[in-house]
Structure 1
């Protein structure tokens, strides 16, 4: 349920790291941090949707100053409780509009977080906000899924992505509005508990236009953090837009 922390309140934050354990694996984190540290160079980084610090903490440990923006105090409380978490500055607010009074070499949105903005206007605002934060020559990095509409049979709107004895998870899509939601059914003591988080899916070309409106230009697009080529079969992409240096 939504509260002052949005859809990532205490009920989600309490076991977020455990529920997304595959994203916390060292090999997954290291690939992400390697690229972000390279792009940051000697400058600071801005993480939009910093959450519990999955990427911010190891990036800061590499010597990159990190500032975060996040709406959820519950998620940020988990970041603060981890070693090194109290050294990372965080602005509480909507990352589509919240401002930090400094400029950054790199800004980034990972693990589909751009889709937490559930309207096209908010996603456009996010690109504009990032452009205002970037120093000339700075980069904006987004990791996001490619919408899985090819997996929808005619007349069906749900795509399952996890099935086990105690947990079912599926995404629903509305192609008319680009609204989607991730739905989780968990069996606890023989009873089913359901939760749902809304998103807005977005296409690579649509993101490129948002970037162009914000004065950014596409520099690179890969299938993943190891810079494998992006193709028509890729399930996600890591895209890098650059703010012109002049």
Structure 2
């Protein structure tokens, strides 16, 4: 499963199990994730989300540096964000002011912002930053809490690549390139994976090592979380372009609806 690979471990908040992004991590995030900010990636994402938001407002959980939220706001969708890391939010604030895109500092499972939304969304595997099933359930409940009748909750999430694990193997590579080596190791009992990253740091041949923990979840498990929160599955596709979701899909974009 492809992961955001810039988090640093061993820094925690008492209100959530999520690892906290550091100042150094936030400052280099946009540069190291430039591919995810390309038009090829963002255009279908923004079109998908804007159509669901319609004439209403959108709330992004874990908005980060605003990779999606800022250009969605530029398309005319009023956006509000929730972000755990003050450092990530500070990078976003360099791009757009508070009046145009308000951001609340807090965790996405419990933080409440004023108003009602037609769309709540979570992109790029970020729900896995919540390391317990209970917290992921609360994330769904928090989404439902913010949605008006008929509103949608959208999650983009990779499918756990456990088919690539032969007996006795616990690691799966997801990126092997000149500038980055990434692989995931799995705890199959706790549904925890650790993403390990070796990233080239400058031109002197040195590599920076980092890792982050995530709780992976299957589509069917998310559907049950949605039902607990009073949401109904509306559709599931293999990506922002709307391709059909199949047993061979590496990820899914799922849409749950709050009954009218």
Superposition TM-score, scaled by structure 2 size: 0.90
Contact 1:223 / 1:235 at 8 angstroms: preserved in 2?
yes
RMSD: 1.5
1:15-164 alignment runs, 5 A limit: 15-83=28-96, 87-164=100-177
In the TM superposition, residue 195 of structure 1 has moved relative to its aligned partner by 0.8
State the structure with bigger RCO (CA 8 A, min sep 6), 1 or 2.
2
SS at match of 1:14: helix
Give a deviation string over 1:26-49, Cα, whole Å, max 9, x none.
121110110111000110000000
In the TM superposition, residue 2 of structure 1 has moved relative to its aligned partner by 3.9
In the alignment, structure 1 segments of 5+ residues that lack a partner are none
Give a deviation string over 1:19-67, Cα, whole Å, max 9, x none.
1122111121110110111000110000000001011011101111100
Q: 2: distance between equivalents of 1:168 and 1:30? A: 27
Partner of 1:199: 214
Give a deviation string over 1:61-100, Cα, whole Å, max 9, x none.
1111100001011111111111567621000000011001
Contact 1:57 / 1:85 at 8 angstroms: preserved in 2?
no
Tell me how many residue pairs correspond in the alignment: 245
Superposition TM-score, scaled by structure 1 size: 0.95
In the TM superposition, residue 9 of structure 1 has moved relative to its aligned partner by 1.4
Contact 2:82 / 2:105 at 8 angstroms: preserved in 1?
yes
Partner of 1:237: 252
